[in-house]
Amino acid sequence: MRLISLTLNRIRRASNLASLLSELLFSRIHSFLRKKPTEVNGKKILVFGICGMGDAIQMLPLLREMRKNFVQCSISIVASAKTSAAEVFQLSQLADHVLFFEFKTSGLMARRVFLRQLIRARFDIAFCTHITPTEYFLPALTAIPVRVGAHIPWHTWWKPKPNFIYDFAWRINGFDQVHETRRYLSLLSCIGIDTSECPLDISLPISQDVIDRSRYRLEQSTASRKRYLIGIHPGVGTNQQWKQWGEAKFIRLARRVIESLDANVILLGGPTENAFLGAMALEIGEGAVVVTPGAEGESYANGVEETAGILSNLDLFVGNDSGVGHLALACGIPSLRLFGMSDYWGYKALGGENSDIWKNLPCSPCLSIGRINSQYNVHNCHHRLCLKLISVDEVYNEIVDHLGETAPKKVRTQ
pLDDT tens, residue by residue, 230-252: 999 999 887 788 889 999 999 99
Q: Are residues 219 and 277 in the same domain?
A: yes
**Does some domain include residue 93?**
yes
Q: Are residues 278 and 394 in the same domain?
A: yes
Q: For residue 320, what are the CA distances in angstroms to 264, 275, 391? A: 19, 19, 14
Domain of 398 in residue numbering reads as 208-403
Number of H helices, E strands in the chain: 15, 12
Indicate which CATH number applies to the domain containing 173: 3.40.50.2000
pLDDT at 237: 80
Summarised one tens digit per residue, pLDDT across range 187-242 is: 999 999 999 999 999 999 999 999 999 998 888 887 567 889 999 999 988 778 88
Q: Are residues 359 and 223 in the same domain?
A: yes
Q: Are residues 173 and 107 in the same domain?
A: yes
Q: Are residues 168 and 256 in the same domain?
A: no
Q: Are residues 154 and 225 in the same domain?
A: no
Global pTM exceeds 0.85 = yes
How many residues appear in the chain? 414
Summarised one tens digit per residue, pLDDT across range 344-375 is: 999 999 888 899 999 988 888 877 765 656 56
Q: Are residues 255 and 110 in the same domain?
A: no
Peptide bond into 365 cis (omega under 30): yes
E strand residue ranges, 68-180: 74-79, 97-100, 125-128, 146-151, 168-171
